Structure 1
Amino acid sequence: MAKVVAAYNAGQGKKDKVKVDVVLLSRQDTFTKETALMASKSSNMDIYWTASYNVGQYAPSLDPLDGIDTSSYFPVAVDGLKYKSKLYALPLDVSNHFLLYRTDLIEALIKDPVASAEYEKISQSVLGEARAPKDPQSWDLEDFKAMAAYFSKSDNPKSPTEYGTILQAKNLLYNTMIWNDVLWGYGGNWAKDGKANLDSSAAKKAVSLYADIYKNKWTSPDSSQAEFPETQAALQAGSAAFAIQWSAAFASLNDPAQSPQVAGKIGIAPVPGGKTHVHALAVSLNKYSKNKAASKRWLSYLATEGAMSKYAEAGGIPAMPKVLEAKASLNPAFTKVSETIAKNGYAEPVFPKTFEAYSKLAEDLSGAWVGQTPVDDALKTANTDLQELLG
């Protein structure tokens, strides 16, 4: 952002007669400070850093962003920043998930008749039906499960990896976002007609998939404490054949300096089930700002492809498909990010306690993800807690 601010101040800002100063803290420190400023109705900051998962909470302290052109953004990124049909933030970085997988291992399996026959045998045992191995681009969640078994030494002693996958099953709010892909992939949702909907058959399937993979040792027992770094480490070390992971992970996995064992051997596919969580880090207008007109000129600049091109060049992942496609040389995942978000992206419901809901669901469900809590009991608790948060 600092580079985009500098470009604005040196160019368009002079025409707008606006100078932007930026304050950068860690994400958590920023949100903590902003919450205090909002509570005091402070005008010290004109623009707040926000995100899809807290914009509903912050909305009473923000002004709707009427009159700013949002046509260049992914619609799902914009929708995730709306509360009660009003837009309260502009997207900056966009985040989504992929299936990241070992291309060499999958290709070897598909080409080898003996290995394929073994896979069909294992899939029959796991799924109750024999399946042929196929390209991860077309996996559903049953393929994900069968492949997890095949690439685990617990079921296949000849597996080239110790585990098929690694689940991000730690009690952590960001892991709820990963699990939501499975829930949405089975046709579920947090809510239906404004009411909590975690007592659905889709929710039971989604928790059961995690529990089955964990209990059958198709993922490391350390999955109970795993999140982004542990998933990255498992893929880098070659101990897992594939994983559902954040899009930002691909660049370092494909870098020989950071990932010498697997660089050049990691493929990108949609999350099995065809759904990916999408959220955006964003910026919003302080309701109590004394510089609203100037702030909106700056925000209007940020909403241009030119500004977001500079943002991409500085290391960001802009929520604009045309920018990602034009800047694909900067990050080989950009094209896939654009394609996947446009086709498979969804945003969870936005309400004042969305952020709290992510944390509460992780607290309620993480035990069941690793088989320590009965699935039905965990979902009953989660559904009750979610309903209280929905209000």
Structure 2
Amino acid sequence: MRSSHLFAALTAVLLTSAAAQAEVTVLGWPGGPEETALRDAANLYNAKEDVADEDKVELIFFNRDGFWDKLQTDLAAGGGEFDLNLLATYAIGRYAPFMEPVELPDSAVDVFGEKVLATMQFEGKQYGVPTDLSLHFMYYRTDLIEQLLSDADWQARYSEIAQERLGKELKPKPPAEWTWDDYQATALFFTKAVNPDSPVRYGTVLQMKNLLFNMMVWHSTARSEGGDWMDADGNITVDSPAYRKGLELYKALYDAGASPKDSLSYEFAEANAAFGSGQVATMLQWNAAAADLNDPEKTPAVGGKVGTVPPPAGIAGRFTHIHGLGLGLNKSAQNKAGALKFLEWLATPEAMQAYAAGGGTPALSADVLAPVAEQRPDLTQLGDYAGQYGFVMTGATSAGALSVYELQAENFTGYWAGQKSLDEALAATAQGMADLLKK
């Protein structure tokens, strides 16, 4: 409870100093573009003539280390030290008992789209306004793929490798048309351990560390084959052909040497470093990596030669995991009316354009994004992909969601590392999920 007392004490000090100027207090995530963007949006809101003094916004930021645990403790205490607080898709169910659902204007659908709004929903209710979105791109070296699509000798060798390794007659395709088989064949072709003539050492780089966020990256494989966490009746559905195919894909690539041998310790930073070295042809990665990887000054080995497309397609289509950060209403808020006014404003084009210009990563409709599209071209792809391909696994906003990701990471990494059989990994995952997601 000591951390809760410290958290409340810090908040109280900040509120005391600002009480004369502001009545709506917002707890945000410090550092990085989220803080900068939120400050810009709040300043714009506070400068509006129709915002009463008692409804102006004061921002509070607390250390990221242990943020979610501290937030839960403070919300559960019911002290009401802040009116609005940060939310994340994968933790909404954890905080829902201490928060109030909100009703956003009907126009919010036109700003964000249904799939993006769903990242802030739990059990059919809206718990916040989505401010920042994360999803995945398939990154590829444009120079390498262009040569593969035009060089007859490369194409012939590609088809030989596809037949030898996958037992299929495949020909090179543009990345936007890839299935997972096309991705696998391409990754094998650009792997020196498979094709000694490859101009790079690795065909791909996999994030295989026992880490919950790596499961989010991997999930696109299973979802595109029709996989989910559970069905409409609450039955756990991970022991399925969809999960088996996705897990076997990673293991086959790893065992073939298509990804570095230390990939079992890789997450976001390590994967970026490998791809940025110029020795990797493809990578499934978070959208946040795009700007730096394609910047010749920041990543000279590949900058200017990086293309991005949605993750490859499976039998159910093309999908990308999405989750969002947003702001929701504390059930113990001291100024609920003022807080709701700010939330409603956040769901407008004016607010989200300011947030995007400030460096945030909101997923917006094309019309809403248009005024800042030239300044933030990366957001055009973000909103498009979220609307077309975004998904949230059934149960992935529940109170046990984070624990599910951790359970999957433990068992699936164990399979990739050869410590468990596929049957053992899936059985242990299914059993654990049944306990974590039971109602």
TM range (shorter): over 0.9
Aligned to 2:332, what secondary structure does the other structure show? coil
Partner residue in 1 for 2:165 = 126
Q: Give yes or no for contact 2:408–2:429 (8 Å, CA) kept in 1.
A: yes
Superposition CA RMSD, Å = 1.5
Aligned to 1:244, what secondary structure does the other structure show? strand
* Residue 385 (structure 2) aligned to one of 330, 337, 340: 340
Partner residue in 2 for 1:373 = 420
Matches within 5 A, 1:235-250: 235-250=275-290
Partner residue in 2 for 1:88 = 127
Partner residue in 2 for 1:214 = 254
In 2, the alpha carbon distance for the partners of 1:318 and 1:262 equals 27
Q: Give yes or no for contact 2:100–2:330 (8 Å, CA) kept in 1.
A: yes
Partner residue in 2 for 1:57 = 94
Partner residue in 1 for 2:29 = none
Partner residue in 1 for 2:334 = 290
Matches within 5 A, 1:29-48: 29-48=66-85
In 2, the alpha carbon distance for the partners of 1:141 and 1:115 equals 20
1:20, distance to aligned residue in structure 2 (A):
0.8
1:269, distance to aligned residue in structure 2 (A):
0.8
Q: Give yes or no for contact 1:195–1:390 (8 Å, CA) kept in 2.
A: no
Q: Which moved more, 1:131-140 or 1:6-15?
A: 6-15
Partner residue in 2 for 1:310 = 354
Amino acid corresponding to residue 46 of structure 1 in structure 2: D
Unpaired runs of at least 5, structure 1: none
Partner residue in 1 for 2:178 = 139
Unpaired runs of at least 5, structure 2: 1-37
1:17, distance to aligned residue in structure 2 (A):
4.6
Matches within 5 A, 1:1-391: 1-11=38-48, 14-15=51-52, 17-69=54-106, 70-71=108-109, 72-193=111-232, 194-273=234-313, 274-322=318-366, 323-349=368-394, 350-391=397-438
1:127, distance to aligned residue in structure 2 (A):
1.2
Partner residue in 1 for 2:12 = none
In 2, the alpha carbon distance for the partners of 1:135 and 1:200 equals 29
Q: Give yes or no for contact 1:215–1:371 (8 Å, CA) kept in 2.
A: no
Amino acid corresponding to residue 399 of structure 2 in structure 1: P
Q: Give yes or no for contact 2:356–2:376 (8 Å, CA) kept in 1.
A: no
In 1, the alpha carbon distance for the partners of 2:140 and 2:77 equals 48
Aligned to 1:53, what secondary structure does the other structure show? helix
In 1, the alpha carbon distance for the partners of 2:277 and 2:194 equals 20
1:156–1:331 Cα change, 3 Å: farther
1:190–1:96 Cα change, 3 Å: same
Amino acid corresponding to residue 212 of structure 1 in structure 2: A
1:185, distance to aligned residue in structure 2 (A):
1.4
In 2, the alpha carbon distance for the partners of 1:241 and 1:34 equals 41
Q: How many residues align?
A: 391
1:372–1:330 Cα change, 3 Å: farther
Bigger RCO (CA 8 Å, 6+ sep):
1
